[in-house]
Structure 1
Amino acid sequence: MGRKKRVAAPEDRKIIALQMDATFFFERAVRSLDRYRYDKAIKYFRRACDYEPENPVNHCNLAGILSEVGKYNESNQILQKIVDEVDPSMTECYFYMANNFANMEDFEAAEKAIIHYLEHDEEGQFLQESEEMMEFLSCELEHPAEPATIKSREGLFEHDKARSLLEQGQFGEAVKQLKKLIKKYPDFLAARNNLALAYYYMGHFAKAMETIHQVLEQEEGNLHALCNLAIFYQHLGEKEKLGRLTGLLRKTYPYHQEHVFKLATTMGILGEHEAAYLLFRRILKSGACGAEGDPCLYHYLAVACANTDRYAEAERHWRETAKLDPKSEVPAFYLNLMEKRRTMAPPERSYLSYHYHLPFEEQFRAIGQSAVEDPLPDKIRKDPLVRSSFFWALRHGDLETKLQVIQAFGLIGDQEVTEALLEFLLDPEENDYLKRLAMFVLRHIGWTEPFRVVMDKEVLTADPRPYAPALPEWEESWSGVLRLAFASMNKRFDLVQQHDLETLWIEYLSRVHPKKPRLQKPEGWAAALEYLTAKMHRRAVTYEEMAVRYQISPNTIRTCVKHIDDACKLREKMNAIFSGPPTDESEPSQ
């Protein structure tokens, strides 16, 4: 009596243990930063370093926060430890140390650190800032200070030229420039990163992966390479590898704004929209590099908002995008999309692309509207992201998409397109009809040399004139008929329809061989071919209309149509396809 009884714990009580690891403390540090609790962020970043002392990212995160709160000396001690003990290749630490020394007004130490950075850093990501600091230090120390060499400037001109080609969508030429540069400077990692991207944009995934692994073999923590690799894994469906790499990127807290931007866009592409939202917002709030006047950044942030259901904020950012870039169609398109989403019940869940251009489907719709125009509008023809989509689709799209891409290439018609189509002809897995269309497009844009093409699994050398393997020779007068037809069809029929007309003419000539058609009136044959092509594509047309266009009698056209139809059984085929005669009621009976 008088004793206290101990209450027994319920048998069904479950105890969940917290997993105390570097990720746990990193996430709390980032959460504290978002709340401006720097004291807690520092404490949690220290714990992350304790759990993963070999990870330089943890140490850099801690050094960055210490610098932000004015603890420059302690920040430098950590940065020095990184290059001495953890990862000597992280030369950017010397740039960070120079900033800390400058803030402490130890200008001689700052000069020493910035010179070391310039002489040893290969990528030059802080080159402009370093040059500005050198100028400042020269004034403070009252003597000029020049590094013996600037390592990142080795091959810099060639790299800038290659990067410009990449930004213009000239991927093949960029590959040539970057390969030369890497041969000359094997340790030029920025060039290798851009070469990997060029391969990726062209659809050469195996080469892209090989190149990005070459970067990571030299510098395993290269953020640009890791971000690119994650995107490659996503396209290749490597879910397990992607999961591990995405986990690593989630724990990364970049110090420099360029790295923040790279990570933000990567996380968005990977579907990590909340992370992308926080990173893009961080860039905008920092005001770095003219962020507040960059329409692309507002678009990226708006997309991240939309993808995390922050629709009101998304609309606000797209309206700002429209103010900064009034000529762009992009903000208006997405504002209209947001308006549609508001009226849906329940809202449709589909994630938006972060690229600052209209969605790929909208680009193809524009191509369809411009299919008979020459040239294609510059906003489509010169947009590198659109061009990369075309190159990717030519290799990995379905048959209908490849058909559209080949037609679009006919409207672009530059050297890059020519090389892509010539390479397409040699792919044994591609459809033979698409290859014949590709040869037609190549001739259309000016190719005059024999083709090397794989047809029916055999490598052939094809005549640059119309592809007619069943005919032992090709007569110039037959090409004259095609020229008349194409001249009439220009800007009214697209390239696929023109190709179908040529195919029909070749089929007719092959079927009547060795007999040759009488060509006293080639206009009649050209008109007949256009008439039948229009019928094949369900376009309304009459003999009288053709007669006016070709300045020839309707009966002559009718006679030529009959000859072609008798040989090719075209009406019979169309009746089977369309389940009805293709004739117009307005035509006289035959």
Structure 2
Amino acid sequence: MSQRKRAAKPRRPKVIPIRLDATFFFERAVQSLDRYHYDKALKYFRRAVEYEPENPVNHCNMAGILSEMGRYQESNDILRSVIDSIDPAMTECYYYLANNYANMELYEAAEEALVHYLENDLDGQFLDEADELLDLLKYELNRPTKLATIKSKENVFAHDKARELLEAGRFADAVKILEDIIVREPSFLAARNNLGLAYYYMGLFEKSVVTITEVLESEPGNLHALCNLAIFYQHSNQEGPLRSLIERLNKTVPFHPEHVFKMATTLGIVGEHREAYRHFRRLLRTGELAGEPSLHHFAAVAATNLSRYDEAEKHWKHAEKLDTDSPVPAYYLRRLEKVREGEDSAPAHYHYHLPFEEQFRQWENNPALVTEALKREPLIRSSFFWALRHGDRKTKVQVIQALGLIADEEVIEALKAFLIDTEEDDELKRVAVLVLRSIGVQDSLAVTFGGRTLTLEARRKSARLPVWDSAWQGVLEHALAGMSGRYDVVQQHDMMTLWVDFLSRVYPEVPKLHKRAGWAAALEYWTAKMHRRTVTYADLVNRYGVSQASISRYANRIDEACGIREKLDLTTPSFH
């Protein structure tokens, strides 16, 4: 029987083809590095570069091997070629250069490369290593490194600066920095939280609530945002949302001292004094913040609102021992006695400074105390801006005049914003215009009166008045009252400007203003002349209750200083 031959099966090849590419040589180089075979590793990295000459990582790997082998100049040549020709944005090359220069003892060059790395690298991959190299360079060069900023920490540093500005009451400056941070890093929730707080202090409620809501959308349990939102609801009288939020806060038990403090002050501000006092006592028991006089003050305020007067007295006396220079504890101890006797109410504010009425009473006869107080307690500055937006009418008048004593850029911007706020009283805006002119702001001013925005034209610059006297204000108010309903806003503004110009020219030899009505009538007289308005002697005498001789005398004094008659081409003052 014949046997059939089986068909032969095809054999699988025993040789596996090797794909020679950059990845292959990279892996071989890494294996050689693991065995400390630097020559082989360098050879393989060179081959990787040949396959992918435009890949900067391959070049940097080759530069790294050369550095490990002590061939620093060759390493630097490769790194420079990466920066100059392949990928200028590869900032880590400057860190590698700095290391090579340091090993070559070229410390100036190392410093230049390291500074470039820190000021331009966004990721901060070698930030810890760079700190060590900075210490070395500082030692070798015997001087601090010339470093302006660290790019990867730019937002952190900017946020710290913004917080300092917030604490100093410089809200507009803080807002500018915080808004820039949010544009660069939208996920920076702490910056967004503080931005909402800055808006709130500036009286921009809607923007503050929107900003804090954005924080809570990203992190619903953010305690700072929840507390800030509760305060916003409190001051905008949103009882429903506030009550819901308070219930949520009362169920929260923070542990970090900073969070406990935030919770306690927030609950106190919204009237939850019992829970606030409980948290303040927790902080005092832990001892970490027990040396802070403000904490004892806050605890005393809460205790007073709970009618626990003995405990309140103990806290304020402790605050007095801790802060012997502050008038706050002593003031509230005196007030506590009146509260006990039913002659006064418990303090409503959780602020470690004197109430506005008391501050202004002390400053009334000594304006220099305002500047001194601002240096000692920056929070007073922030309370000024808050009161400008949310105080009663009397407080706002006092605040506007006090801001005139500060007279910096932020004050000017705040008062200008006040002028165009449709919710503010027109008379208060006139006071604000007056203060702006008195501190030397002579550019045109936009003012909203009665729902209509007017532009008050720029005025010739006059000397800045160092103070604003209540007697000067009295003359103005007298004139405004006499001109009310007879002169428009622009004409009233010109009267105020004339008064400021007169005072600036004669200061410090300002005449005694015994007859305010006479000066007020003289101001109306010249205002009428400047606007070609008819004014009669009988009309001025009847409305201001002064003689023609007095009005004529004061009108002449104003003209002598300001030269109005010459400008209007008048010969002698005459009434028609």
TM above 0.5, one fold? yes
Alpha-carbon RMSD across the aligned residues, in angstroms, is 4.0
CA deviation map 1:155-187 (0-9, x unaligned): 211000000000000011001010001111101
2:485 is equivalent to residue 487 of structure 1: no
Match of 1:442 in 2: 436
* Structure 1: runs of 5+ lacking an equivalent: 1-149, 517-531, 544-554, 566-590
* Letter aligned with residue 458 of structure 2: P
Q: SS of 1:460's equivalent?
A: strand
Cα pair 1:169 1:383 within 8 Å, conserved: no
Distance (Å, rounded) in 2 between the aligned partners of 1:238 and 1:333: 33
Cα pair 1:468 1:506 within 8 Å, conserved: no
Q: Which runs of 4+ in 1 moved over 6 A?
A: 471-474, 476-480, 500-503, 555-558, 562-565
Match of 1:209 in 2: 209
Match of 1:184 in 2: 184
- Distance of aligned partners of 1:349 and 1:509 in 2 relative to their CA distance in 1, 3 Å threshold: closer
Instruction: List aligned pairs for 1:232-247, cutoff 5 A.
Output: 232-247=232-247
> What is the CA distance between 1:379 and its match in structure 2?
1.2
CA deviation map 1:84-107 (0-9, x unaligned): xxxxxxxxxxxxxxxxxxxxxxxx
Q: SS of 2:364's equivalent?
A: helix
Match of 1:509 in 2: 526
- Distance of aligned partners of 1:483 and 1:468 in 2 relative to their CA distance in 1, 3 Å threshold: farther
2:354 is equivalent to residue 361 of structure 1: no
Match of 1:4 in 2: none
Match of 2:297 in 1: 299
Match of 2:260 in 1: 260
Relative to the length of structure 1, the TM-score reads 0.56
- Distance of aligned partners of 1:152 and 1:326 in 2 relative to their CA distance in 1, 3 Å threshold: farther
- Distance of aligned partners of 1:482 and 1:502 in 2 relative to their CA distance in 1, 3 Å threshold: farther
Instruction: List aligned pairs for 1:503-542, cutoff 5 A.
Output: 505-512=522-529
* Structure 2: runs of 5+ lacking an equivalent: 1-149, 461-487, 534-540, 559-576
Q: SS of 2:357's equivalent?
A: helix
Give the length in aligned residue pairs: 372
* Letter aligned with residue 510 of structure 1: T
Instruction: List aligned pairs for 1:279-428, cutoff 5 A.
Output: 279-288=279-288, 291-342=289-340, 344=341, 349-370=345-366, 373-374=367-368, 376-380=370-374, 383-428=377-422
* Letter aligned with residue 508 of structure 1: Y
* Letter aligned with residue 191 of structure 1: A
> What is the CA distance between 1:398 and its match in structure 2?
3.8
CA deviation map 1:500-550 (0-9, x unaligned): 99975542113345789xxxxxxxxxxxxxxx9xx99x9xxx99xxxxxxx
Cα pair 1:390 1:405 within 8 Å, conserved: yes
- Distance of aligned partners of 1:426 and 1:341 in 2 relative to their CA distance in 1, 3 Å threshold: closer
- Distance of aligned partners of 1:163 and 1:351 in 2 relative to their CA distance in 1, 3 Å threshold: same
Distance (Å, rounded) in 2 between the aligned partners of 1:287 and 1:152: 36
Cα pair 1:375 1:411 within 8 Å, conserved: no
> What is the CA distance between 1:365 and its match in structure 2?
2.4
Match of 2:64 in 1: none
Cα pair 1:425 1:435 within 8 Å, conserved: yes
* Letter aligned with residue 483 of structure 1: S
* Letter aligned with residue 261 of structure 2: F
Match of 1:546 in 2: none
Cα pair 1:168 1:382 within 8 Å, conserved: no
> What is the CA distance between 1:473 and its match in structure 2?
10
- Distance of aligned partners of 1:502 and 1:398 in 2 relative to their CA distance in 1, 3 Å threshold: farther
Relative to the length of structure 2, the TM-score reads 0.57
Q: SS of 1:328's equivalent?
A: coil
Distance (Å, rounded) in 2 between the aligned partners of 1:503 and 1:430: 25
> What is the CA distance between 1:153 and its match in structure 2?
5.4
* Letter aligned with residue 508 of structure 2: A
Instruction: List aligned pairs for 1:55-94, cutoff 5 A.
Output: none
Match of 2:166 in 1: 166
Cα pair 2:519 2:554 within 8 Å, conserved: no
Cα pair 1:166 1:384 within 8 Å, conserved: no
Q: SS of 1:430's equivalent?
A: coil
Distance (Å, rounded) in 2 between the aligned partners of 1:468 and 1:310: 53
Match of 2:225 in 1: 225
Match of 2:448 in 1: 454
| Structure number, greater radius of gyration | 2
Distance (Å, rounded) in 1 between the aligned partners of 2:493 and 2:313: 64
What is the percent sequence identity of the aligned residues? 48
> What is the CA distance between 1:193 and its match in structure 2?
0.9
> What is the CA distance between 1:399 and its match in structure 2?
3.4
Distance (Å, rounded) in 2 between the aligned partners of 1:327 and 1:198: 29
CA deviation map 1:531-570 (0-9, x unaligned): x9xx99x9xxx99xxxxxxxxxxx99785148899xxxxx
Q: SS of 2:370's equivalent?
A: coil
* Letter aligned with residue 235 of structure 1: H
Cα pair 2:491 2:527 within 8 Å, conserved: yes
